[in-house]
């Protein structure tokens, strides 16, 4: 137990460290993005200053210095639009449209001004031109990088959440499995005592009918104990006549149910063999029949029909209850779902697990109509 607890703590420490690392990456990426954007701004300010210096040199002696020209010519990545004092636009590093498309350049300058504050080229208190510049391709790619990291962060959070949820469910399953096995163990003691008392009653010449009924209930308790002891273990399947196994469970429920419920079973007069665990299969039949009785509120008709093909056997359990809407056809098999005020919502989910996981069969709602009832179908492979 201590080792398991240490492993659990180590896992959460690793998860916390992972969250911290991702958070630091996001923060550093954001800072890098802002720094790169500032450098773009400095580059454009240098570009504007180079234009001023170039203008000064031309005004003084008519010669052009190489240095301002190199600054201007070196900027080949930042898209920009230069508006002169007369309102004409000229583009640089924009490939899509020609410089003469003034309307396009004007609209694009408005877009650039939303991305970055325009830079005015001022010389001797006179605005020579205004530079509108957008983000470079590299900057545009970088600005989506934080979103990708946020997505990774959210996905990682989702993985952690589902890990926590599955871990909690696994712990609960272990608890229920332990409780089920302990219940089976606890039932064993009074059950042995009941068997002893039954033998004593036989020697006292008690009415054999009474003893027979008591023995049936004792056998039922033994079956229930066997069921609970199998929870969490891989059950052993035996070659079994599915008609006989179904009829035994059906007859037992019939003899111990209200007289307001009519029971009917239709099955062919033949032996149909399947691989079954009789105790778990009878548990499934019991769950489905009791579910039908609850749907009818203790009054109505329950019918079981068995039919087969060369490959499959179909066991249909029908009731005359209130019926189901189609959106509930799958939901009723989910663990915890119940329409009753009191109930755990385990019967049908347990039946689904017994049939599909242990017997490799199928269970589903075959049909259902409002106020006419529901039919559930079990499909098993025939031997």
Q: Do residues 374 and 295 lie in contact, with contact meaning Cβ atoms separated by under 8 Å?
A: yes
pLDDT digits (tens, 9 = 90+) for 244-286: 999 988 888 888 888 889 999 999 988 999 999 888 898 899 8
Q: CB within 8 A of 310, min separation 6: which ones?
A: 382
Question: Do 355 and 272 lie in a common domain?
Answer: yes
Q: What integer pLDDT is reported at residue 97 of this predicted model?
A: 54
CB burial of residue 212 (10 Å; 0-12, 13-18, 19+): exposed
For residues 350-377, average pLDDT: 90
If asked whether residues 185 and 245 sit together in one domain, one would say no
User: Which tens digit of pLDDT belongs to each residue from 190-214?
Assistant: 777 777 778 778 777 778 888 887 8
Please indicate, yes or no, if residue 147 is contained in any of the structural domains: no
Confidence label for 2 from pLDDT (cuts 50, 70 and 90): very low
215: left (phi over 0), alpha (psi -120 to 50) or beta: alpha
Integer CA distances (angstroms), 145 to 4, 40, 112, in order: 39, 18, 21
The answer as to whether 143 is a domain residue is no
Residue 237 has pLDDT above 50, yes or no: yes
pLDDT digits (tens, 9 = 90+) for 310-329: 999 999 999 998 888 888 88
Domain containing residue 72 = 2-135
* Dist CA 234 CA 75 (whole Å): 72
Q: Check whether residue 343 and residue 270 sit in a common domain.
A: yes
Whether 39 and 172 map to the same domain: the answer is no
From 209, 233, 257, give the residue that closes a domain.
Answer: 233
Domain boundary among 97, 119, 135: 135
pLDDT at 52 over 70: no
Residue 355's pLDDT is 92
Specify whether 240 is located in the same domain as 111: no
Do the Cβ atoms of 277 and 230 come closer than 8 Å? yes
Closest by CA position to 381, among listed 362, 365, 353? 362
Q: Which of 89-93, 145-149, 308-312 has the lowest mean pLDDT?
A: 145-149
Indicate which CATH number applies to the domain containing 308. 3.30.565.10
Assess if residue 145 is contained within a domain. Answer: no
Residue 337: band (very low, low, confident or very high) from pLDDT cuts 50, 70, 90: low
Q: Do 206 and 129 reside in the same domain of the chain?
A: no
CA gap 236, 230 in Å, rounded: 9
Residue 281 counted as domain residue: yes
| 225 token code pair | 């104990």
Residue 149 lies in a domain: no
- Per-residue pLDDT, 7: 64
Q: What pLDDT does residue 47 have?
A: 67
Q: Both 191 and 266 in a single domain?
A: no
Beta-carbon contacts of 357 under 8 Å, excluding residues fewer than 6 positions away, are none
Assigned domain for 152 exists: no
Distances from the Cα of 292 to the Cα of 225, 289, 372, angstroms:
24, 5, 12
Based on the domain organization, do 240 and 349 belong to the same domain?
yes
Residues 72 and 99 placed together within one structural domain of the fold:
yes
The answer to whether residue 180 sits within a structural domain is yes
Please give the Cα distance from 159 to 152 (Å, whole number): 10
Domain count, the chain: 3
Query: Is residue 150 over pLDDT 80?
Result: no
62 band by pLDDT with thresholds 50, 70 and 90 = very low
Percent of the chain at pLDDT > 90 equals: 17
User: Do 14 and 111 lie in a common domain?
Assistant: yes
The answer to whether residue 80 scores a pLDDT higher than 50 is yes
Give me the pLDDT at residue 73, please.
58
In terms of Cβ atoms closer than 10 Å to its own Cβ (0-12, 13-18, 19+), residue 324 is: buried
The pLDDT-based confidence of 154 (bands split at 50, 70, 90) is confident
- Give the residues across from 308 on adjacent strands: 313
> How far, in Å, CA of 135 to CA of 169, rounded?
50
Which residue among 115, 135, 155 closes a domain?
135
Residues 302, 217, single domain; the answer is no
Res 87: pLDDT: 80
d(CA 43, CA 155) in angstroms, rounded, equals 38
Check whether residue 284 and residue 212 sit in a common domain.
Answer: no
Would 114 be classed as within a structural domain?
A: yes
Rounded Cα distance between 353 and 347, Å, is: 10
């Amino acid at each position: 137990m201590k080792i398991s607890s240490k492993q659990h703590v180590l896992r959460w420490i690793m998860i916390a460290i992972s969250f911290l690392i991702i958070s630091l990456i996001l923060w550093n990426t954001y800072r890098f993005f802002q720094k790169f954007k500032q450098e773009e701004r400095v580059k454009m300010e240098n570009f504007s200053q180079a234009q001023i210096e170039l203008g000064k040199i031309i005004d003084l002696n008519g010669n052009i210095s190489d240095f301002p020209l190199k600054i201007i010519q070196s900027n080949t990545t930042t898209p920009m639009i230069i508006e002169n004092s007369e309102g004409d636009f000229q583009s640089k590093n924009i490939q899509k449209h020609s410089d003469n498309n003034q309307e396009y350049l004007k609209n694009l300058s408005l877009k650039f001004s939303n991305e970055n504050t325009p830079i005015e080229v001022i010389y001797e208190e006179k605005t020579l031109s205004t530079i509108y510049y957008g983000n470079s391709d590299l900057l545009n790619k970088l600005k989506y990088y934080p979103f990708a990291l946020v997505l990774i962060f959210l996905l990682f959070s989702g993985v952690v959440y589902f890990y926590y949820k599955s871990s909690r469910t696994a712990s609960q399953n272990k608890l229920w499995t332990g409780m089920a096995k302990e219940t089976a163990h606890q039932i064993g003691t009074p059950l042995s005592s009941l068997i002893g008392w039954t033998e004593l009653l036989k020697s006292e010449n008690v009415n054999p009918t009474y003893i027979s009924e008591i023995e049936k209930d004792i056998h039922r308790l033994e079956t229930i104990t066997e069921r609970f002891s199998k929870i969490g273990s891989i059950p052993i399947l035996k070659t079994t006549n599915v008609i006989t196994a179904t009829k035994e469970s059906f007859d037992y429920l019939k003899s111990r149910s209200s007289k307001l419920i009519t029971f009917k079973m239709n099955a062919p007069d033949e032996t149909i063999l399947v691989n079954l665990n009789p105790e778990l299969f009878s548990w499934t039949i019991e769950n489905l029949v009791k579910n039908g009785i609850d749907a009818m509120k203790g009054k109505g008709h329950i019918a079981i029909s068995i039919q087969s093909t060369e490959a499959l056997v179909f066991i249909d359990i029908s009731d005359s209850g209130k019926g189901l809407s189609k959106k509930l056809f799958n939901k009723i098999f989910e663990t915890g779902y119940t329409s009753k005020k009191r109930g755990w919502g385990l019967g049908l989910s347990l039946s689904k697990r017994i049939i599909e996981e242990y017997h490799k069969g199928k269970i589903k709602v075959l049909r259902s109509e409002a106020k006419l009832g529901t039919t559930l179908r079990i499909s098993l492979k025939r031997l």
